[in-house]
Amino acid sequence: MRERFGATASALLDEDERAFVLLADISTGYFEGALRTHPDRVIRIGIMEQTVLSAAAGIALEGFVPIVHSIAPFIALRPIEQIRDDFLYQRLGVNIVSIGASYDYASDGYTHHAPDDVPTLMGLAGLEIIAPGTPAELEVLLRSAFADGAATYYRLSEQRNATDQDVKRGELTIIRRQPGAPLVVAVGPMLDRTLEATRDLDVSVAYATTVTPFDAATLRSLAADEPEVFVVEPWYEGALAREIVAALAPRAVRLGGIGVRRQVTIGYGSAADFDDEFGLTPAGIAARLRAFLAAG
């Protein structure tokens, strides 16, 4: 996804003179050509993400459309006040593109993990949050939201699905519809493993790449009269609970799910090691989902 992001952002610099890229010394290799072609609109500010965001706000005030980029915990959590006050409060557009979530940098330890980025950012009113599942989906969604005037957070990961879906910003993609059956919502790179986990189960499956604003209308159209919804999330478990409940109100909903366990991870290893620990594998998802369905 990072390579596709670099190519897409570089293309936007060629296509739209309002595009402006600010880097925190991360992924600079993907912008070598753009740095030569557009030295006035690609800036390497350094590893100081609060400054990157505030500088981007000033650039937005001058009529540009900024794209800022760094590792997820540094660009999502470290400058959260700048996102809130410099962009959301002033109603300025920005494209905040992260990499490394949730634990792509598993060997670097918890300081480089970000299972809490989206759960934290969902508390900011007015922020769009996008979680693509493939590089091609990232390009579609970035181009769609790039100049919409909103502050948008894109969560990129090394984990990805094998097949591109026909995604549209702000909409759930219906993968499987089983009228009256429980609904499973897979988010971003969780789709493939969710489909494998539900292969033999009588459930509907929806795919979410836009987290906020959430597509409540499609969710309501898929939910049964007595809805049962199970969410598979790539960040801390339960982040989407409020959106699901609000979408189905005033009906009561039986809600379950699986995601990253809410804990401070002390150990090191690989992303696959953490997936195994948290049950974010096809077998782990299937076990949790079957238990949820049986309890109903």
- Write the pLDDT tens digit of every residue in 61-109: 999 999 999 999 999 999 999 999 999 999 999 999 999 999 999 999 9
Q: Strands 204-208 and 173-176, how do they pair? A: antiparallel
Quick check: 277 pLDDT over 90?
Answer: yes
Query: What is residue 224's predicted lDDT score, i.e. its pLDDT?
Result: 84
pLDDT band for position 164 (50/70/90)? very high
Distances in Å between the Cα of 256 and the Cα atoms of 241, 244, 267 are 9, 11, 27
Place of tokens 């089983």: 178
Judge whether 31 and 5 are in contact, CB under 8 Å.
no
Within 10 A of 196 (CB to CB), how many other CB atoms are there? 14
Omega cis (within 30) before 282: no
d(CA 117, CA 76): 6
pLDDT band for position 24 (50/70/90)? very high
d(CA 156, CA 188): 9
Percent of the chain past pLDDT 70, that is, above it, reads 100
Residue range 194-216: average pLDDT? Answer: 97
Rounded to two decimals, what is the model's pTM?
0.96
